[in-house]
Amino acid sequence: MSIKETNDLYHKDMFNRRGFLKGFGAATLSATALTMMSGCYSAQASYHGQKALSDNAVQSDIVILNTAIEAEQEAVAAYQLGAESQLLGKDLLNVAVQFQGHHKEHIELLASVVTQLGGTPSEPLKQYQFPVEKLKQPSDVLMFAAQLERGAVSAYAGAIPLFDNRDFSKAAASILADEAMHWAILRNALGLDPVPGAFFS
pLDDT (tens digit per residue) in 90-147 = 999 999 999 999 999 999 999 999 999 999 999 999 999 999 999 999 999 999 999 9
Q: Is 39 left (phi over 0), alpha (psi -120 to 50) or beta?
A: left
Count of residues in the chain: 201
Handedness of CA 88, 183, 136, 107 (dihedral sign): positive
- What is the pLDDT tens value at each position of the chain, 201 positions in all? 455 554 554 444 443 333 333 333 332 223 333 333 333 333 333 433 444 548 889 999 999 999 999 999 999 999 999 999 999 999 999 999 999 999 999 999 999 999 999 999 999 999 999 999 999 999 999 999 999 999 999 999 999 999 999 999 999 999 999 999 999 999 999 999 999 999 887
Whether 34 is covered by a domain: the verdict is: no
Please state the domain count of the chain.
1
17: enclosing H helix or E strand: helix 17-25
Contact present, 102 and 157 (Cβ < 8 Å): no
Give the domain extent around 129.
Answer: 54-190
Question: CA-to-CA distance for 161 and 183, rounded, in angstroms?
Answer: 22
Contact present, 143 and 190 (Cβ < 8 Å): yes
Whether 41 is covered by a domain: the verdict is: no
Whether 20 is covered by a domain: the verdict is: no
DSSP tag of 120: -
> Residue 75 sits in a domain of what CATH number?
1.20.1260.10
Q: Model pTM greater than 0.85?
A: no
Helix (H, G, I), strand (E, B) or coil at 124: coil
Contact present, 31 and 61 (Cβ < 8 Å): no
Give the model's pLDDT for residue 3.
55
- The pair phi, psi for residue 86, each rounded to 5°, is 65, 20
Whether 138 is covered by a domain: the verdict is: yes
Question: CA-to-CA distance for 33 and 102, rounded, in angstroms?
Answer: 18
Question: CA-to-CA distance for 102 and 75, rounded, in angstroms?
Answer: 10
Whether 71 is covered by a domain: the verdict is: yes
Whether 168 is covered by a domain: the verdict is: yes
Q: Please count the CA atoms within 13 angstroms of the CA of 63 that sit on its side-chain side.
A: 9
